[in-house]
Structure 1
Amino acid sequence: MTMPYLVSFHLGWLIGSLVLGFCMGWISVVQRGNGTSKVTARWLAALAVALVAASLAHVVPGRFGYWLDLGLIMFACYLVGCTIGAWLRDRVVSRSQPAA
């Protein structure tokens, strides 16, 4: 499966994941919870790298490989939306506060 086909066929879902990521990024700046530990972050990063490598090497064939590719693209759109939403929220909040 090629990426342009996935993007053109699932454009609505990709835009939806981008918008959902934007909303979560906008909300997450306000919420100040505990982050993940460094060990957990490393394991999650290793998992993401392994999934991307499996996708690029076409290790997973057929339908499950298609789902893997689609899931990775949707996750990337979600992360981009989160980044944009958090950045814009930070800009709005910092602009509305008086200068010290």
Structure 2
Amino acid sequence: MSYYDEIEIEDMTFDPKLQIYHYPCPCGDRFEISIGDMRDGEGVGVCPSCSLMIQKRGEASNSSCGYLNAGYFSSTISSATRDLIKTKQARHI
């Protein structure tokens, strides 16, 4: 598979409401990688407006730059989901 570029996760912008990382695409739109996709091992950002794709390099620092660890979503996600996130984080430490 051919990628437009490999981008460090730190160079992407995180949208905490949508739980998606964004990165500008040359077509004027933006590549998107969701937190769910990253948890499932996916590291490919897709632009919805063109055929370009990017490969993510690096790892999100414990649940999207600390948003979940800091309790940012604590009122919007279930306790079962929080437990699953903690379990997956513990496996990566």
**TM-score interval for Structure 1 and Structure 2 normalised by the shorter chain:** under 0.3
* Richer in strand (by share): 2
- What TM-score, normalized by structure 1, do the two folds share? 0.26
Greater RCO, CA 8 A, separation 6+: 1
More helix by share: 1
- Which protein is bigger by CA-based radius of gyration? 1
Alignment TM-score, normalising by the size of structure 2: 0.27
